[in-house]
Amino acid sequence: MKDPQTKYPQPSFDTKLQEEPGIESKMNPLPDYGENTYKGSDKLKDKVVIITGGDSGIGRAVAYAFAIEGAKVVISYLNEHKDAEEMAEVIRSKKGKVFSIDGDIREEKHCQQIIDKTIEEYGQVDVIVNNAAFQMARESIQDISAEEWDKTFKTNIYAPFYLCKAAEKHLAPGSSIINTTSVNAYAPSDNLVPYAATKGAIKNFTASMAQLWAEKGIWVNAVASGPIWTPLIPATMSAEKVKNFGKKTPFGRPGQPAELAPAYVMLACEDSSYKSGATIEITGGRYTL
């Protein structure tokens, strides 16, 4: 076992700020997606999985782990074509099956298209990972435009609703929905007001849907992440916050996407057959009371 405090890079970080949504290849240090360490055991063999934001960040680590576990993966992404193609090539190099769909999940029509194209390609949908998110750090509520507020809510909470609604008729008993919430659902940051609000909403959406779909045999759970080193960070935060990102956690560093992927695998496979409405917190020791 390795010391969790020193297992991965600790701040301060020297990485350039970017335009959102951020490009992985421009980060320093690069995120760890588990592509050299994750070992599968066919826990998701022949399952069909849709992952929003699967081109980078947490979504990329999850997409890789699912593919290694035998799943057929559908990567939904906005417009980061280089990252998406690189992720797809990594999966194909491991003999995995994958295809990508670009477009804006804020639009209900596009979410319907994701489901339709998945059914056309693979004939089924078994797991949906609602992972894509938008945030911008702002020091004053006066700096948050109505457009930014709408974008945050439509990306983070409207899209999961759209996808669940579009997929419902295709989901058989034993299907799984996994939503990505945040430590901000418990301890909201004062500079992430819209984002924190959506993450609280996602947690409640998870609990409500778990009850609503229990009679269908579909389980609905969430993963609450702490500060995770993804392209979203240098694309949405100030230079000072990026430099010291994750430093205030008990482990003294941000988490890596690879450290979250196993939780998503567990929530997608038969290991979680009696788990629904739950949230798994992976926060580097930050409390979630």
Catalytic residue list contains 287: no
| pLDDT by position in tens, the chain (length 289) | 899 999 999 999 999 999 888 888 889 999 999 999 999 999 999 999 999 999 999 999 999 999 999 999 999 999 989 999 999 999 999 999 999 999 999 999 999 999 999 999 999 999 999 999 999 999 999 999 999 999 999 999 999 999 999 999 999 999 999 999 999 999 999 999 999 999 999 999 999 999 999 999 999 999 999 999 998 899 999 999 999 999 999 999 999 999 999 999 999 999 999 999 999 999 999 888 7
The Cα 238–Cα 234 span in angstroms is 8
Task: Decide if 179 contacts 126 (C-beta within 8 A).
Answer: no
Q: Which CATH architecture has domain 41-281?
A: 3-Layer(aba) Sandwich (3.40)
Q: In terms of pTM, does the model score above 0.85?
A: yes
Q: CB-based burial of residue 10 (10 Å sphere; 0-12 exposed, 13-18 middle, 19+ buried)?
A: middle
Catalytic residue among 195, 264, 274, 287: 195
Domain residues of the chain, as ranges? Answer: 41-281
In the three-class reduction of DSSP (H, G, I as helix; E, B as strand; rest coil), residue 179 is classed as strand
Task: Decide if 42 contacts 69 (C-beta within 8 A).
Answer: yes
